[in-house]
Copies of this chain bind each other. A is one copy, B any other.
Amino acid sequence: MPTYERLKGFRDFYPPEMAVRREVTDTLESVARRYGFREIDTPRLEPAEMWTDKSGDDIVDELYAFEDHGGRHVTLSPELTPTVARMYAAKAQALSKPVKWVSTRPFWRYEAVQQGRFREFYQTNIDVFGSSEPTADAEVLATAADAMTELGLTGDDFEFRVSHRDILGSLLRSFDADVDVRAAIRAVDKSEKVDEAEYLDLLHDAGLGFDEARDFDDLLGVTDPADLDELTDFAPESDELAAAVDNLRAVLAAADDFGVGDYCDLSLRTARGLDYYTGAVFECFDSTGEVGRAVFGGGRYDDLIEAFGGQPTPAVGVAPGHATLGLLLERAGVAPDAAIETDYYVLRVGDTRDVAARVARDLRAAGNVVETDVAGRSFGAQLGYADSINAETVVIVGEQDLANGEVTVKDMATGDETTTPVEEFPGDRDRPTYDDFAP
């Protein structure tokens, strides 16, 4: 007899784990919905060329790619962006701008499995397309921050470290050296994970002299937006830098107006690993540092829609990953309750199925979670099952009670029980409990 095992890096969500994920998903989506993000959904499988055409991307080595029965090169999506770029390009004319989309779904990457990192992982992608205004960046920050607080986190639990790709890029370009800007930005992204010598080596490999690397890194130490003048003073000839500094200040000011400025810290050493970001970027961190890496991140990627065949379209977004977010919620002690909840168990004794079924139907019609016997069990076994599913109230429909025209209502927390006329139960009560009938 064969037995099978789940693939490594994939998860089974039994009801307790699923209850947690459902609550996190519903909270993220509901906050995004209130901001006017509209839900979309997307194919799990896409032409592999959407990733392989862009050579040099680490993602390609991690693809679950294969040839389908029709000879197409296909892949499970490792990220959403190329797909929404494809969708946006396909209907750009008809869509009312700005386009604000939200979706939650799994993605797949064949990479090393570790705590909070799986080969099948869930993200909620929240994106604004068609606005280059700092208010769009700020709205994404505000949506993410509101979702965090709605999940029960406070400003003591998390911080958004906000940076700007064009500040990093224009600073790097202001040096006389021939700098590989992408490599240098990747070095900045690694600065917190490697020691200083290695970091400076990486900047040197990217084309900076060691003194320049030190100067550059010193400039990134600015944490007060007012001090960003130090950067423009350093490279006064760079209009690009001045514009980027203005833009970052405008994003932070809008985030302030939007009520989430307190969650945002200027942190130029935050760079984001992916090449495609173009403006403001940010990463969410555990303020205590216990969750040792970025919980999630986001930012502006104005060139990507065009790269995937669309008209030039500014875009900014954020993509909370549910696994790392779950680690932060646990660390902060606010992970959703995994316990199964049941409002009623309708217990049948003897030949009372029609009445018990009527009671269960009425309770369900009012929106309650109601179970009843579908296994032909004894009184005691039914009561034990009711307890195992955390039933709040048990309604006992017994032959003897029914002969008196009554049912018994039992509070499972206290064990108290009383009887009430079956004809009036539940009547027009939405959620009757023992207390409504207590003698």
Q: Are A34 and B2 closer than 8 Å at their CB atoms?
A: no
Interface residues on A, range: 35 or more
Residues of B within 8 A of A22 (CB): 39
Q: Is the interface of A mostly helix, strand, loop or mixed?
A: mixed
Would you call B120 and A357 a contact (CB within 8 A)?
Answer: no
Residues of chain B lying within 8 A (CB to CB) of residue A33: 369
For the complex, give the distance between the alpha carbons of A367 and B133 in Å: 26
- Tell me the residues in window 167-212 of chain A with beta carbons closer than 8 Å to chain B beta carbons: none
B12 A90 Cβ-Cβ under 8 A: yes
- The residue that A7 contacts in the complex, of B1, B11, B45, B368, with Cβ under 8 A, is B45
Residue pair B15, A38 in contact (C-beta under 8 Å): yes
Contact across chains for A136 and B82 when beta carbons are under 8 A apart: no
Choose from B2, B15, B35, B388 the contact partner of A49 (Cβ within 8 Å).
Answer: B2
| CB–CB A375/B254 < 8 A | no
Known pairs A4-B308, A89-B3, A96-B385; A14 contacts B43 (CB<8 A)? no
Contacts of A12 in B (CB 8 A): 40-43, 87, 90
Would you call A375 and B136 a contact (CB within 8 A)? yes
CB < 8 Å: which of B8, B257, B358 contacts A259? B358
Chain A residues proximal to chain B, CB less than 8 Å: 1-8, 10-15, 18-19, 21-22, 33-36, 38-47, 49-50, 53, 62, 64, 66-70, 72, 74, 76, 82, 86-87, 89-91, 96-98, 100-101, 106, 108, 110, 120, 128, 130-131, 133, 135-136, 138-139, 146, 254, 257-259, 306-309, 340, 342, 353-354, 357-358, 361, 364, 367-371, 373-376, 385, 388-389
